Amino acid sequence: MATRAQTPRAPRKKREPSPTRNSPRAAAEATSKGNGSQPKPNSGKRNAKTASAIEFDRANHRPALITPEQLEKLIATLINDGFEVIGPTVRDEAITYDPVKCVADLPAGWTDEQEPARYRLKKSDNPALFGYSLGAQSWKTFLHPAEARLFAAEKQNGAFHILNNDPIPAVSRALLGVRACELAAIRAQDRVLLGDKYRDPIYGSRRESALIIAVQCSHAAATCFCVSIGSGPKVSDGFDLLLTELVDANGHRFVVEPGTDRGIGLLARVDAKPALEADLAAVESALASAAQQQRKLDTAGLKEFLYENFENPQWDKISARCLSCANCTMSCPTCFCTTVDDATDVTGTHAERCRRWDSCFTQSFSYIHGGSIRTSAKARYRQWMTHKLAAWTDQFGSLGCVGCGRCITWCPAAIDITEEVRAMREGGVRADA
């Protein structure tokens, strides 16, 4: 996406607690936030030198090569520039995106096994840092947070005023290890939260200040189907830097392509060398092996098919298994739905309005006076799948599914969106049903 080659934002400085933050709760938050972000004084200037609003021409830039040591330097450089670097780590026996300070924080020598309702991390002989596929969590945690305060307000004598209406996060983040399908998911959320009539400032501020270091996959989980969707494994745009990790007789190294001027600036600062033809050939073969995928989703005419099959016995079969637990929607990187909660303090004079992720699998989601619209699990699953694979195309011009497979892995009932579509299309009965 050309528009991403934009002026980088200087990581924000420590925020001044607003003078209107006078409740104990708001004051406590202001303090903890202030302590949390350590600004770097001259970071903005250095970034500004490489800033460019013009379209970035990738063809002009040969891929570079860096070693794990240079990756270490890249992370240090980003941290020095004031970024919080978020990358994959191992937590609770799963890959989780967390702040990383150095290469040692990354999951070296781990790979994963994924099946419907099954996820296992296991050790491998390969020392690769990115040798696994996706965990349950996606980057929406950082761009479209699970919980965000819309505003706080103070009331006095029947009148109120809005406090600290500042949705901008205290720190800019560098997202390290964003896979092709996840970039597609970020683009999908861009269209929902930025691309229409209104712009969501909570998402927008995080999105625009984020620096993206994408990683191309060299292995696919059994649940992946990005090839069917056309969202991967090759990364085409939307990144500052794009890494492909290679581990072979020529050593452990990363082919790096810049996608923005900011990316070029970073490469220069870690003394990246040009990549060799052999390295580029190795990237292609890594991608080819990631493109070997077990799962497929036939997207041809899918929208019309689902609209026409609002009534189909397969919905009943799915709903007999679906627990309406909402795991699929929470783990899905494109699902964007939210609800809001209002709360006041004990005096009733300080109110807050918070937004939280919501799921179309809950009854309350469709509640209007008189009762919920979608009372049955069948209607809720149908809403979810029809939105992902049909309505989304009408609404935003692309599928709402990027083929990441998370909903398959993390569904406790092992419901597989690709299988359900296939079964419905074939009109037959599933082997295990």
Partner 1 sequence: MTAAAAQFDAMVPSACVLKQVTKETPDTFTLAVARENGSGENAFAPGQFSMLWVFGVGELPISISGDPSKHDELVYTVRSVGKATHALVSQKPGTEIGVRGPFGHGWPFQAARGHDVIIVAGGIGLAPLRPMIYEVFQNRAEYGRLVILYGARSPRELLYRKELAAWARQPETQVLVTVDYGGIGWHGHVGVVTTLFKYARLHPARSVAMICGPEIMMRFVTRQLQEHGLQEQNIYLSMERNMKCAAGFCGHCQYGKHFICKDGPVFPYAEIAQLLDKYEL
Provide, rounded to whole angstroms, the least separation between the CB of residue 100 and ligand FAD.
Answer: 40
CA distance 189 to 195: 9
* Residue 369 within binding range of partner 1, rule CB under 8 A: yes
Among 59, 346, 368, 431, binds ligand FAD (CB under 6 A): 368
Number of neighbouring beta carbons within 10 Å of residue 26: 21
Q: Write the burial class of residue 337 (CB in 10 Å: 0-12 exposed, 13-18 middle, 19+ buried).
A: middle
Among 56, 365, 381, 410, binds partner 1 (CB under 8 A): 365
Residue 343 is encoded by which pair of tokens?
């709360």
Among 28, 161, 276, 429, binds partner 1 (CB under 8 A): 161
Question: Site mask, ligand FAD, residues 311-350, x = CB under 6 A?
Answer: ----------------------------------------
Q: Please choose, out of 63-71, 140-148, 361-369, 410-418, the segment that lies near ligand FAD by the rule CB under 6 A.
A: 361-369
Residues 387-416, interacting with partner 1 (CB under 8 A): 387, 390-391, 394-395
Q: What are phi and psi of 95, to 5 degrees?
A: -75, 125
CA distance 246 to 23: 53
Cβ–Cβ under 8 Å, residues 290 and 233: yes
CA distance 235 to 238: 8
SS3 of the chain: helix, strand, coil, percent, to 5: 35, 20, 45
Judged by beta carbon distances under 5 to 8 A according to partner kind, the member of ligand FAD, ligand SF4, partner 1, none in contact with residue 137 is: none
Rama region for 251: left / alpha / beta (φ>0; ψ in -120 to 50; rest): left
Provide, rounded to whole angstroms, the least separation between the CB of residue 139 and ligand SF4.
Answer: 12
Question: Is cis: bond before 412, omega within 30 of 0?
Answer: no
Question: Site mask, ligand SF4, residues 74-113, x = CB under 6 A?
Answer: ----------------------------------------
Among 76, 90, 136, 153, binds partner 1 (CB under 8 A): 153
Residue 75 is encoded by which pair of tokens?
């992370």
Judged by beta carbon distances under 5 to 8 A according to partner kind, the member of ligand SF4, ligand FAD, partner 1, none in contact with residue 91 is: none
* Residue 104 within binding range of ligand FAD, rule CB under 6 A: no
Q: Which is nearer to ligand SF4, 111 or 331 (CB)?
A: 331
Residues 6+ apart with CB under 8 A from 173: 83, 84, 85, 86, 142, 206, 209, 210, 211
Judged by beta carbon distances under 5 to 8 A according to partner kind, the member of ligand SF4, ligand FAD, partner 1, none in contact with residue 4 is: none
CA distance 208 to 3: 10
Strand partners of residue 114: 119
Residues 6+ apart with CB under 8 A from 163: 18, 20, 21, 26, 151, 152, 153, 154
* Residue 390 within binding range of ligand SF4, rule CB under 6 A: no
Residues 278-337, interacting with ligand SF4 (CB under 6 A): 322-328, 331-334
The letter for the amino acid at 366 is: S
Among 19, 32, 369, 394, binds ligand FAD (CB under 6 A): 369
Among 367, 373, 395, 429, binds ligand FAD (CB under 6 A): 367
CA distance 173 to 211: 6
DSSP letter for each residue of 202-237: HHHHHHHH-EEEEEE-SS--TT--HHHHT--SS--S
Residues contacting ligand FAD: total by CB under 6 A: 3
* Residue 407 within binding range of ligand SF4, rule CB under 6 A: yes
Count of residues making up the chain? 433
Q: Which is nearer to ligand SF4, 263 or 333 (CB)?
A: 333
Among 343, 412, 427, 428, binds partner 1 (CB under 8 A): 343
Nearest to 138 by CA among 433, 421, 407, 416: 407
Residues 283-322, interacting with partner 1 (CB under 8 A): 310
* Residue 137 within binding range of ligand SF4, rule CB under 6 A: no
Provide, rounded to whole angstroms, the least separation between the CB of residue 145 and ligand FAD.
Answer: 21
Judged by beta carbon distances under 5 to 8 A according to partner kind, the member of ligand FAD, ligand SF4, partner 1, none in contact with residue 322 is: ligand SF4
Site residues (vs ligand SF4, CB under 6 A): 322-328, 331-334, 361, 388, 401-407, 411-413, 415, 417
Site residues (vs ligand FAD, CB under 6 A): 367-369
Site residues (vs partner 1, CB under 8 A): 150-151, 153, 155, 158-162, 165, 167, 192-193, 196-198, 200-201, 310, 336-340, 342-344, 348, 351, 353, 355, 358, 360, 365-369, 373-376, 378-379, 383, 387, 390-391, 394-395
